[in-house]
Chain A
Amino acid sequence: MKISYFPGCTLKTMAKDFEDSALASASCLGIELVELPRWNCCGTVYSLTSDDLIHQVAPIRNLIRVKEQEDNRVVTLCSMCYHTLKRANKLVREDREKLDKLNNLMYREDVKYDGEIEVLHLLEILKNEVSFNQIAKKVKIPLKELKVAPYYGCLLLRPPEIGLDDAENPTILKDFLESIGAEVIDYPYQTECCASYHTVVNVDLVVERAHDILSSAINQGAEAIVLSCPLCGFNLDNRQKEIKEKFSDFKGIPVFYFTQLLALSLGLDEKVCGFELNFVDPRHLLKSKHLTGRV
């Protein structure tokens, strides 16, 4: 199965491990993610201002790129890109006038956008098209004994109209993690916000929130966090440096992209997982569980 793939900026830089492990796993599961030509930044933050159409140009332009490929679907990996593209798409599907204005703004494009593209997250493809049962069958190294805490954050789930699962009680990450054999830890903070872009100007706030989220998971017995957003990843992983400075008893916990664990469980070459890019090095943990160094 071929499907258009929108990487987004971070996946090409800080979150290269996310992209590499996703592409390799997808292809192992029979999905070819075809990177869009000439894609641009997703727009990053969905603008809530009603009179601010210019911010929708970026996401909609990407959907025009998909249309040019004669595809009607596009897959993202980053929660933020997923959110921005899907929400902009919803906006123009429901507001013809805004769509016309956007098309006029982009009058030099060869095709006009008409709301026909479906924006999907890789998790949805894994659940609905591959199916978690099928994945379970392909797992070579089940992540037995690895206690993982799924972290959804905001953008996969909220607002509910565009969320990919129940905003109150999501299960998609849990179901996914169980299919690759991990032991899934339930904890109340899995849908709390990581403080997002406050990380630029208000590090203290991020440190506090990340500390609460991570400690809650650790208290429930988690050995690692699993997520799908590079920004959440930065706040929960890289900020552990500042967390430790502020909370001296904080022990630290590795943070994975879900695709890193997928690639690992499918028995792919460890290199695609890019564990060296993780801030809190997970390799010791994985080794202690006999999950690495086997192939």
Chain B
Amino acid sequence: MSRIGVFVCHCGLNIAGTVDVEKAARLMSNYPGVIYASDYVYMCSDPGQDMIKEVVKEKKLDGIVVAACSPTMHEITFRNTVASIGLNPYRCEIANIREQCSWVHQDNKEIATEKAVQIIEATVEKLKLDKSLVPLSIPITKKALVIGGGIAGIQASLDIADSGYEVVLVEKNQSIGGHMLQLSETFPTLDCPQCIATPRMVQVGQHPKIKLLAYSEVEEVSGYVGNFKVKIRRKVSFVDWDKCTGCGLCIEKCPVKVLSEFDEFLAKRKAIYTLFPQAVPNKPVIDSNNCLYFTKGKCRACEKNCSVKAINFEQKDSFIEEDVGAIIVATGYDLMDKAEIGEYGYGKYEDVIDGLQAERVLAPAGPTNGIPYRPSDGKIPKEVVFIQCVGSRDPEHYYPYCSKVCCMYTIKQAMLYKHAVPDGQAYVFYMDIRCNGKGYEEFLQRGIEEDRILYIRGRVSKVFKDGDKIEVWGADTLTGRKIEISADMVVLAMAMVPSQGVKKLAEKLRLATDEYGFLTEAHPKLRPVESLTAGCFLAGAAQAPKDIPEAVAQASGAASKVLSLFSQDVFYHEPIIGSVDEEVCVGCGNCVNICAYDAVELDLVTKVAKVNPALCEGCGACSAACPSGAMQQNNFGKRQIFEMVDAFTKG
């Protein structure tokens, strides 16, 4: 016979205001298997917990039910309470009589009390069959993988490496830096991104604990928290980076010029190229789609000029494998594809450019040295129209979300334009101006007052070319008037979208994404840097549009999560997981198919299901799917569920 104690909490009046807690305790003290029952005003308070401890010791209880709020609130509290006096924590159960009873039945105390008693009875029945479980302990490989070398990935890598743990940083481009390195200057302080980011890039390049794998992509991921196995593809660069000294002679001698992705197609690069002068690593790659040798079979000028014989036209992709304990995904963003947008003449008129192109045009180290010559004819534009929310906040056509940084960078770009062309005029069409950051509103005021940026609240209806002008028609919704501006250049603040290929990567990592492809955090408020997959963390614009300060803060947050994981030698995992009765299992494989975490497999030899305890998240899908009843969830066994149902339906 069990020796169970029941503790009914008043939760002030939250429960006691509706449920007759004394009556519930009285009824429960006569219930089979229960040898003690009482009520108390706040069970979670110190006196409440002390009372539980004393009763458990005095009455030699072998299990307790706390009838209180939802187990998501205080299950851990009470399990720790009983564990502190030597009772197995899994012999403590919570009966939720607040969220599931008192709060929803405030108008009928009698029924509420009756239901509360039933909930407690059912929980007692479950407890009777609960096993004493021990958390699993899993060893941890104390090395982290960071995917994406933008400012978020850089920050996370440095934080972890500076704490003494090894980091593998995988970046798909030939240099780290991400979009930040393309920017002109950064709001709200107008410091140059190179000045603040390149020291960190150099640190990454030289850090003894960081293994930087540029021009590489994650190919396969297996394993689980603490024990991931990652296969990484090092893309073929046709340059032996170990030999290459980064002298740049090959680039100088290469005869081919193509539009540069880094300069957003506003300037040219060579077929063998680095992204920008401060690149880390500062090693070139050959773009085989445009290289004369690959397309026409001749040239090899780079090879001839390389004194250390680093060029290797025979090079192939290579693969390396790494064991890591935690993964941070910091794959950043892209701007929405111009092919998607029909309005505004983007892609049709050269002088209609997007936000990143404007950054390049305004960048002091950019293709025009910061003087905003317009792309079509190199003239200095005297009237520039900025259009915000292009593709953002437009649920009917494109994306419903706010891209968050465009309001701010539009101020910055209009300001920089005015600094370069003081007699020019900058107009901004906006829906709202969202300046919600430290120093942001002041930045806007400065733009309006000192630089005389003209803000027009309304949407643009039409953009078309008339001679060498770009005509912009729009509405000023504050005066109700139609506005027509003959502009020289138009800048579109296009929506930010997740970087290309992130969906595929997310599948490999078993990460959830929202409907637009941004990675989903475990909890929007309380677990913003964790993913739902244990051991995988998120940083930067891969999770949602963000600016640099936010991306960096989240990266440090993700790094600290990794460090707290690495601070233990083993990782403890909930024992409430699926377990197979091998005698009963027929090997149908239903559980294997249904498991969202790839935690179940069929044993090759015995042909029965086998649960990988480290991967199992205890969702219970497999036990529901199992036709033979062989797969059961620890402490949520079929018999337990039936006993609970019986308790509810007996009356």
Contact flags B464-487 to A (C-beta < 8 A → 1, else 0): 111000010000000000000000
Q: Which of A160-215 contact B (CB under 8 A)?
A: 166-169, 188
Question: A188 and B466: CB pair below 8 A?
Answer: yes
| Bound: A103/B591 CA distance, A | 54
Question: Is B651 on the interface with A (CB-CB < 8 A)?
Answer: no
What's the least CB distance linking A162 to chain B, in Å? 15
Contacts of B465 on A, CB cut-off 8 Å?
Answer: 188
Tell me which residues from 459 to 507 in chain B have a Cβ below 8 Å from any Cβ of chain A.
462, 464-466, 471
A168–B466 contact, CB under 8 A?
no
- Chain B interface size band reads under 10
Distance between A194 CB and nearest chain B CB, rounded to angstroms = 16
B338-365 CB contact bits vs A (8 Å, 1 = yes)?
Answer: 0000110000000000000000000000
User: Which residues of A sit under 8 angstroms from B462, Cβ to Cβ?
Assistant: 188
Indicate with 1 or 0, residue by residue over B445-468, a CB within 8 angstroms of chain A CB atoms. 000000000000000001011100
Residues of B close to A166: CB separation below 8 A: 342
Closest Cβ of chain A to B244, distance in Å, is: 47
Q: Chain B residue with minimal CB distance to A220? A: B466
Q: Which residues of B contact A188 (CB under 8 A)?
A: 462, 464-466, 471
Expressed in whole angstroms, the Cα–Cα distance for A169 and B464 within the complex equals 12
Complex CA distance for A168 and B397, rounded to whole angstroms: 12
Contacts of B471 in A (CB 8 A): 188
Instruction: Name the B residues within 8 Å of A167 (CB-CB).
Output: 342
> Chain B: which residue is nearest A167 at the CB level?
B342
Asked if A168 and B342 make an inter-chain contact with CB atoms under 8 angstroms apart, the answer reads: yes
A168 to B342, CA, bound (A): 6
Nearest CB of A to B467, in Å: 9
A216 to B466, CA, bound (A): 9
How many Å lie between the Cα of A216 and that of B462 in the bound state?
15
For A192, give the chain B residue with the smallest CB separation. B462
The answer to whether A168 touches B343 (Cβ under 8 A) is: yes
Query: What distance in Å separates the Cβ of B468 from its nearest Cβ neighbour in chain A?
Result: 14
- For the complex, give the distance between the alpha carbons of A167 and B342 in Å: 9
Could you tell me the distance between the alpha carbons of A169 and B343 in the complex, rounded to whole angstroms? Answer: 8
Closest CB in chain A relative to B487 CB, distance in Å: 14
> Given the complex of chains A and B, what is the CA–CA distance between A174 and B639 in angstroms?
73
B99 CB → nearest A CB, Å = 40
Contact flags A48-74 to B (C-beta < 8 A → 1, else 0): 000000000000000000000000000
> Considering residues A166, A167, A168, which has the most beta carbons from chain B within 10 angstroms of its beta carbon?
A168
User: Are B342 and A169 touching (Cβ within 8 A)?
Assistant: yes
Which chain A residues lie closer than 8 Å to B342 at the CB level? 166-169
A86 to B466, CA, bound (A): 35
A216 CA to B501 CA, complexed, in Å: 44
| Bound Cα distance from A169 to B342, whole angstroms | 7
**Which residue of chain A lies nearest to B464 when distances are taken between CB atoms in the complex?**
A188
Residue among A166, A167, A188, A216 with the most chain B CB within 10 A? A188
Considering the chains assembled together, what is the distance between the CA atoms of A173 and B464 in angstroms? Answer: 19
Say how far A98's CB is from chain B's closest CB, in angstroms.
Answer: 23
> Residue on A with the closest CB to B467?
A219
Q: Would you give the shortest CB distance from A72 to chain B, in whole angstroms?
A: 30
Instruction: Give chain B nearest CB distance to A191 CB in angstroms.
Output: 9
Q: Which residues on the B side are within 8 Å of A169 (C-beta)?
A: 342
A63 to chain B, nearest CB (A): 28
Distance (whole angstroms) from the CB of A153 to the closest CB of chain B: 15
Q: How far is the CA of A167 from the CA of B462 in the complex (A)?
A: 12
- Complex formed: what's the CA distance from A46 to B508 in Å? 52
* Closest beta carbon of chain B to A4's beta carbon, Å: 33
For A168, what are the chain B residues with a Cβ–Cβ distance below 8 Å? Answer: 342-343
CB nearest to B462 among chain A residues: A188
The smallest beta-carbon distance between B494 and chain A, in angstroms, is 16
- How far, in whole Å, are A167 and B464 apart by their CA atoms in the complex? 15
- In the assembled complex, the Cα of A100 lies from the Cα of B463 at a distance in Å of 44
Closest approach, in angstroms, between the C-beta of B598 and any C-beta of chain A?
Answer: 43
* Complex CA–CA separation, A166 to B343 (angstroms): 11
Task: A44 to B25: give the CA distance in the assembly, Å.
Answer: 76
Q: Report how far A188 CA is from B349 CA in the complex, Å.
A: 13
In the complex, which residues 296-355 of chain B have their Cβ closer than 8 Å to any Cβ of chain A?
A: 342-343
A216 to B467: give the CA distance in the assembly, Å: 11
- In the complex, how many angstroms separate the beta carbon of B411 from the nearest chain A beta carbon? 28
- Shortest C-beta distance, B348 to chain A (Å), equals 8
Among residues of B, the one whose C-beta sits closest to the C-beta of A188 is B464
A166 vs B466: C-alpha distance in the bound complex, in angstroms? 22
Q: How far is the CB of B331 from chain A (nearest CB, A)?
A: 32
Interface string of A138-173 (1 = CB under 8 A from B): 000000000000000000000000000011110000
Q: Which of A246-266 contact B (CB under 8 A)?
A: none
B464: A residues at CB distance < 8 A: 188
Across-interface contacts of B343 in A (CB, < 8 A): 168
Closest Cβ of chain B to A195, distance in Å, is 14
- Nearest chain B residue, comparing its CB with the CB of A219: B466
Given the complex of chains A and B, what is the CA–CA distance between A78 and B249 in angstroms? 67
**Smallest Cβ distance from A222 to chain B, in angstroms?**
15
Which of chain A's residues has its CB closest to B344's CB? Answer: A168
What distance in Å separates the Cβ of B332 from its nearest Cβ neighbour in chain A? 30
CB of A276 to closest CB in B, whole Å: 35
Docked CA distance A262–B243 (Å): 69
**How far is A188 from B466 in the complex, measured between Cα atoms in Å?**
8
- Which residues of chain B are near A216, meaning CB under 8 Å? 466
Please measure, in the bound complex, the distance between the C-alpha atom of A169 and the C-alpha atom of B349, giving whole angstroms: 14
Compute how far the CA of A230 lies from the CA of B61 in the bound complex, rounded to whole angstroms.
92
Could you tell me the distance in whole angstroms from the C-beta of B486 to the nearest C-beta in chain A?
13
Question: When chains A and B are docked, how far (Å) is the Cα of A116 from the Cα of B464?
Answer: 40
Provide the B130-145 mask, 1 if CB < 8 A to any CB of A, else 0.
Answer: 0000000000000000
Q: How far is the CB of A45 from chain B (nearest CB, A)?
A: 22
CB distance from A281 to the nearest CB of B (A): 30
Give min CB distance, A35 to chain B, whole Å: 37
Bound Cα distance from A153 to B462, whole angstroms: 14
Contact with A along B569-603 (1 / 0, CB 8 A): 00000000000000000000000000000000000
Distance of A166 Cα from B465 Cα, bound (Å)? 19
How distant is the Cα of A188 from the Cα of B462 in the complex, in angstroms? 9
Shortest distance between the CB of B139 and any CB in chain A (Å): 59
In whole angstroms, what is the CA distance A168 to B341 when docked? Answer: 10
**Complex Cα distance A169/B471, Å?**
16
B342 to chain A: closest residue by CB: A168
How many angstroms between the C-alpha atoms of A168 and B463 in the bound complex?
Answer: 11
B466 to chain A: which residues have CB within 8 Å? 188, 216
Q: How far is the CB of B474 from chain A (nearest CB, A)?
A: 14
Task: Identify the closest chain B residue to A166 (Cβ).
Answer: B342
Q: Once the chains are docked, how many angstroms separate the CA of A216 from the CA of B464?
A: 11
Question: What CA separation (Å) do A193 and B464 show in the bound complex?
Answer: 16
Q: Can you report 11 residue pairs joining A to B where beta carbons are below 8 Å apart? A: A166-B342, A167-B342, A168-B342, A168-B343, A169-B342, A188-B462, A188-B464, A188-B465, A188-B466, A188-B471, A216-B466
* Additional pairs, 4, CB under 8 Å, beyond known A168-B343, A188-B471: A169-B342, A188-B465, A188-B466, A216-B466
Question: Which A-B residue pairs are the 7 nearest by beta carbons?
Answer: A188-B464, A168-B342, A169-B342, A168-B343, A166-B342, A188-B466, A188-B471
